[in-house]
Amino acid sequence: MLDGLHRQQERLEREHQRKDEFLAMLAHELRNPLAPISSAAQLLRVLFADVPRIKEISGVIGRQVTHMTHLVDDLLDVSRVTRGLVTINQSSVELGAVLREAVEQIKPVIDARKHRLALDIAAQPMTVCGDRTRLVQVAANLLNNAAKYTPDGGELHVSLQRHDDVAVLQVRDNGIGIGADLLPVVFDLFTQAQRTPDRAQGGLGLGLALVKKLVELHHGSVEAHSAGLGHGSSFTVRLPLLPAQQAAGTAPAASDSPTDTRSRRILVVDDNVDAARTLGLLLESAGHAVTIEHSAQAALARSEHDRFEVILLDIGFPAL
């Protein structure tokens, strides 16, 4: 009997591994066509900026590509997290700046649904050791979740306070709430509240699972609370703060540098012909001199004879 259980466990582990590998492959394959679509939409906006109908259509394409990219990025992140491939670039990070950046990312969603956002950030800086990009992702996912599951014209309250040596981020809403059956598994992969007939909420049920994994990688915790359906919900993240002497050395966020508008000689190398061509056209529209190659051998041969200031090379390029 024990041998049978052991074999069954091994089989389940293999199936779980295959599922993770499939998610990674699926996300990669879905991402490939998004780049040329995005470049083509941007090119339409540039070339037909004075044609309102084309500008409107290219805007629609761009927004939908951005939405699709976020879904694919979530799939990629899930596949990396579940396989232990996500690494945290540790540095001193000020959480107030992180939260403000996350709010800016999600503000279009909040405004589109006419929500009222109350932001309460403690006056004193709160510094943690972590990955700024991933921490912004945590806050943005929580804000997006609150905005998505709150009916239009709702109220969102976001606070960041210090409790002893812990930073506490809380995101509250007066939305649809979380049922007692869903609350214990709300951070599991592919878990979502009940869909409305028009699927207005969208998503794949990955955002909160990523929040939990990323918070744990920062040695923190996250909890969900709700009084039930129709009573809103709150999510609370706790992260350990750096000691004062370490926090004092926190580098300020980099300010925007002036845009370099000089024309560059650029080599684009990608075996996806459409991706390379549309990117090349977009760069040419910005005044750059662009050469395109579709194989590693051709790119190496070209670079021996021509000098390029910038080379844009596909990651994981075959035969390189």
How far is the C-alpha of 83 from the C-alpha of 98, rounded, in Å? 27
Helix (H, G, I), strand (E, B), or coil: what is residue 292? Answer: strand
* Widest Cα–Cα separation across the chain: 74
Residue 144 to residue 248: CA distance in whole angstroms: 32
Residue 135: closest CA among 172, 87, 86, 102: 102
Which residue bears the tokens 């990674």?
24
Two tokens at 86?
Answer: 């996500």
Q: Is 23 helix (H, G, I), strand (E, B) or coil?
A: helix
For 117, the enclosing helix (H) or strand (E) is: strand 116-121
- Name the 3-class secondary structure at 4: helix
Angle separating helix axes 34-47 and 2-31, nearest 10 degrees: 20
Residues 6+ apart with CB under 8 A from 110: 117, 143, 147, 156
Read off the pLDDT of each residue in 99-104 and give the average, rounded to a whole number.
Answer: 94
Ramachandran assignment for 202, one of left (phi > 0), alpha (psi -120 to 50 degrees), beta (any other): left
Percent of the chain with pLDDT over 70: 85
Beta bridge partners of 37: none
Q: What is the DSSP string of 299-318?
A: HHHHHHHS--SEEEE-TT-T
The dihedrals phi and psi of 310, each to the nearest 5 degrees, come to -140, 135
- Residue-wise pLDDT for 24-70, tens only, equals 677 777 778 888 898 888 888 888 888 999 988 888 898 888 878 87
Q: What is the pLDDT of residues 158-203, one digit of tens each?
A: 999 999 999 999 999 999 999 988 888 888 866 665 544 444 455 5
Tens of pLDDT, residues 75-87: 777 777 777 777 7
Domains, in order of start, for the chain: 2-82 (1.10.287), 91-247 (3.30.565.10), 265-313 (3.40.50.2300)
Q: Is the dihedral of CA 145, 140, 104, 56 positive or negative?
A: negative
* Residues 85, 202, 218, 228, CA torsion sign: negative
Using one digit for the tens of pLDDT, what is the confidence trace for 267-317? 999 888 998 999 999 999 989 999 999 988 898 899 888 999 999 988 766
Evaluate if residue 222 carries a pLDDT over 60.
Answer: yes
